[in-house]
Structure 1
Amino acid sequence: MRFERVCWGALSWLALSPAWAADGGYSVLGDWPVKVVSESGIEAGLKGNFSYDVARFDGAPGFADGDAWRRQELNAYVRKPGVFELTLGYDLHNEVWLDNFVRVSGAAGDLRIGQFKTPVGYEESAVGTTATTFMERALPVTAFYAGRRLGVDWTYEKIPNWYLNAAVQAGGDLLGDNHGRTLGARAVFNPVKDDAQVLHLGLSASNEKRDDDTLRLQVRPEAFLTARRLVDTGALNRVEGISRYGLEAIWQRGPLLLQSEYLGIGVDRYGVADYSADGYYLAASWVATGEKRGYKSGAFGNVKPSRAWGAVELAARYSRIDLDDAGVALGGRQSDWTFGANWYIGQHFRLQFNYVWTDAARRGVELDPEIAQLRAQVYF
């Protein structure tokens, strides 16, 4: 099928990379020249993420095997580090605007105006799509994430071992959706941060008021080539306010990384009972070739191979979400086990394999699909 042809074609192309370098050109496996820098220190460049997926489903009706583009993200930026930044981003495949903002930096911190992510949920708000260990984010992150909004935020990193961020977002997003107002904040403390290890402890919270007074929580299994949701609250109306909160704990020592999050949501409603739900995940990853992830601004970055043929990472994650609230909504409960292997090929290519075992129950119906999926990714 087309996905396998793409993979083998890409690997054949990569095999020619050393020859390119020998002739004095840029190696495909090396660091590409995707930016230019002026004499005054102003940078202009591109960032991109192009991911193609294939998935095979087994064990539950209603799932269809398939292959398709997952992302075609392209971002352009102009910046002078420590002074200003202008970023424009769009996902060509999903037809959504990404981060689009102007940021000004100074002694009082960074002030950003435009569209950007709401601050609750480490995996979603802090980690870019090119640096995720697994192909998809954990169940509670996907279900509770509030998306991008228009607004203004402030970030301060001048207190040693602290990262602080606060945002006021209003008026919806660049697609004209999600009208309302959101207040959010995130704080990260690093009691240990040196060349040997990093300990990351985070706390975040937000409050949202929607103009349409409705909310619906639902989530796919940790495989996005299916549109089917196994847990779903249905529409909740008479929503007066939505509170989200999150706890983060991450520890990295050399090639080993242990990561966890707890996320909750509370829905205040007028004239009817309030609603609440929560979820969590526990994950571990080990880079078998010895590399470690970089850490900056309260988030871990991608693995950068130290060998010509790349780096290999193995990972496992357990995630769980509970959308049942007796007397209000029976959205169901779901848990996913995800096992993954990543091959980082040079600076800009990655092959990912994930096996997902899902166990979901909603209103007396139980389903446990098993999913095998593969991704070919180019990022820069």
Structure 2
Amino acid sequence: MRPLALAALSVFCSTAALPVFAEEGAQAWPPKFTFSDETEVALTGNFAWDKAEFAGHPRLEDNEGLRRREFGATVKKAGVWDAMVYFDFESKSWLDVFVRFDSQHFLGRDVGKLRVGYMKVPVGLEGVTSSRAGTFMELASPIQAIYQGRRTGVEWTLEQDHALFQLGGYGGKDLQGDNPGQTYAARAAWTPRKAAGDVLHLGIAASRENPQGWTDGRGVQFDPTARLRARPGTNLTDTRLVDTGSLAPVNHIQRTGLEGIWIKGPVSMQGELLRADIARDDGLADFTAEGGYLAASWLLTGESRVYSSGNVANPKPANGYGAVELAARYSTLDLDDGPVNGGRQHDWTFGANWYLTPYVKLQANYVRANATRNGATSRPEIVEVRAQVHF
């Protein structure tokens, strides 16, 4: 699938080059160029530096370093189409690479938007939230374990005043050349309240993944597989306290999720219930994983979390000194089922965020994890901070 990314990048370059002689203006920050035909070309990025210190048992190694080095570009003609190429140079992985078309322009009426390319599969609300917009520094443990990530495919989205619908089909490998197979996904949400500072979002999502086996360069055949696991609240450690190990051979994976968002002025809540049902071959017992989280936030400076297109974004500071937020989250994950002893983990995360400007964000988290696997209990504690610049 790498040619898709290169092709999309070529689209950007050619689209930006065509109207270059008709350029009307340039915006210094965020870097944006607007041309006479109303096409906009913008650079986008997200850079985060983290530091984590550990206590409790097991005593993990303190660490610090870059968490994200994301950089890319967007091209947009409002009401007609938009496209994006985005890459994380820290993890050396492709992020969003897509082109999206607005039906209103092409058909004369709104029957949704069609997106083609490499994108997130829409099961797991916190997982599909932008990495720059997380209230907490890391995803909740059930999202880490169950959320599928990005795949290459086609997705249709229709947003109305009080409802949101998404359908997607994805196939082949991802842009890293991994995870061969097909996935079909659907998401629907009811939004009886959808105004600035007053939101109620209730949704359901489901997908079916049919993973495929593969053969390496030496002709060795590998069965289709699945593996669910989660880190204890920070990506600055490779330790996983809960881990199913390989569940090969796998026939298919069904993921389901219930999601909710409530925003009322400076106070908000968000929660999810997630489940993965893994059907295995060769007479092996099927496996089920379950988890969920509930999070709450309070913006002390009076702003509201931003809600748009079925998801949340960073608040926009209303004062020169920025916006200050306090947040708490409880999450739980169960990877024990039958003969598979993946373990159980529950975490408390307490956070403080300072949005200095719309492009600069400081975060601090305290995580208290409790995991039990094969009769052994681990109770690590993490204090972590992040400095983030995004545009």
Could you tell me the TM-score, scaled by structure 2's length? Answer: 0.87
- Tell me, in whole angstroms, the C-alpha distance in 2 between the residues paired with 1:137 and 1:208: 22
Displaced runs of 4+ in structure 1, greater than 3 A?
Answer: none
- Tell me, in whole angstroms, the C-alpha distance in 2 between the residues paired with 1:206 and 1:334: 24
Q: Is 2:184 the partner of 1:183?
A: yes
> Structure 1 51/196 Cα, relative in aligned 2: closer, same or farther at 3 Å?
closer
- Tell me, in whole angstroms, the C-alpha distance in 1 between the residues paired with 2:267 and 2:372: 33
Deviations 1:34-73 (A, max 9, x none): 2122232211001111000000001123510010100001
Q: Please tell me the residue identity of whatever aligns with 2:64.
A: D
> Structure 1 235/62 Cα, relative in aligned 2: closer, same or farther at 3 Å?
farther
Q: Please tell me the residue identity of whatever aligns with 2:170.
A: Q
Q: Using the TM superposition, give the Cα deviation of residue 193 of structure 1 relative to its aligned residue in structure 2, in angstroms.
A: 2.0
2:21 maps to: none
2:359 to 323, 333, 348: 348
2:39 maps to: 42
Q: Is 2:382 the partner of 1:379?
A: no
Q: Is the 8 A contact 1:31 1:348 kept in 2?
A: no
- Tell me, in whole angstroms, the C-alpha distance in 2 between the residues paired with 1:196 and 1:91: 32
Q: Is the 8 A contact 1:246 1:263 kept in 2?
A: yes
Q: Please tell me the residue identity of whatever aligns with 1:242.
A: I
1:166 maps to: 167
- Tell me, in whole angstroms, the C-alpha distance in 2 between the residues paired with 1:102 and 1:343: 33
Q: Please tell me the residue identity of whatever aligns with 1:330.
A: N
Q: Please tell me the residue identity of whatever aligns with 2:185.
A: G
Q: Is 2:92 the partner of 1:80?
A: no
Q: Is the 8 A contact 1:165 1:187 kept in 2?
A: yes
Q: Please tell me the residue identity of whatever aligns with 2:346.
A: S
1:267 to 267, 270, 278: 278
Q: Using the TM superposition, give the Cα deviation of residue 195 of structure 1 relative to its aligned residue in structure 2, in angstroms.
A: 3.8
Gap runs ≥5 in structure 1: 1-29
Deviations 1:107-142 (A, max 9, x none): 3211111100111000112x1011110000111011
Q: Using the TM superposition, give the Cα deviation of residue 31 of structure 1 relative to its aligned residue in structure 2, in angstroms.
A: 9.0
Give 3-state SS (helix, strand or coil) of 2:61's partner: coil
- Tell me, in whole angstroms, the C-alpha distance in 2 between the residues paired with 1:181 and 1:210: 6
Give 3-state SS (helix, strand or coil) of 1:369's partner: strand
Q: Please tell me the residue identity of whatever aligns with 1:161.
A: H
1:300 to 282, 296, 312: 312
- Tell me, in whole angstroms, the C-alpha distance in 2 between the residues paired with 1:66 and 1:256: 33
1:116 maps to: 119
1:312 maps to: 324
2:158 maps to: 156
Q: Is the 8 A contact 1:31 1:347 kept in 2?
A: no
> Structure 1 150/298 Cα, relative in aligned 2: closer, same or farther at 3 Å?
same
Q: Is the 8 A contact 2:201 2:260 kept in 1?
A: yes
- Tell me, in whole angstroms, the C-alpha distance in 1 between the residues paired with 2:115 and 2:193: 28
1:323 to 325, 331, 335: 335
Q: Using the TM superposition, give the Cα deviation of residue 273 of structure 1 relative to its aligned residue in structure 2, in angstroms.
A: 1.1
1:358 maps to: 369
Deviations 1:292-315 (A, max 9, x none): 122110111111111111110000
- Tell me, in whole angstroms, the C-alpha distance in 1 between the residues paired with 2:157 and 2:335: 33
Q: Using the TM superposition, give the Cα deviation of residue 196 of structure 1 relative to its aligned residue in structure 2, in angstroms.
A: 4.7
1:97 maps to: 94
Q: Is the 8 A contact 2:161 2:194 kept in 1?
A: no
Q: Using the TM superposition, give the Cα deviation of residue 262 of structure 1 relative to its aligned residue in structure 2, in angstroms.
A: 0.3
- Tell me, in whole angstroms, the C-alpha distance in 1 between the residues paired with 2:169 and 2:177: 17
- Tell me, in whole angstroms, the C-alpha distance in 2 between the residues paired with 1:291 and 1:343: 12
- Tell me, in whole angstroms, the C-alpha distance in 2 between the residues paired with 1:229 and 1:196: 38
- Tell me, in whole angstroms, the C-alpha distance in 2 between the residues paired with 1:71 and 1:300: 20
Could you tell me the TM-score, scaled by structure 1's length? Answer: 0.89
Q: Is 2:293 the partner of 1:291?
A: no
> Structure 1 33/273 Cα, relative in aligned 2: closer, same or farther at 3 Å?
closer
Deviations 1:66-86 (A, max 9, x none): 101000011201111221112
Q: Is 2:233 the partner of 1:222?
A: yes
2:146 maps to: 144
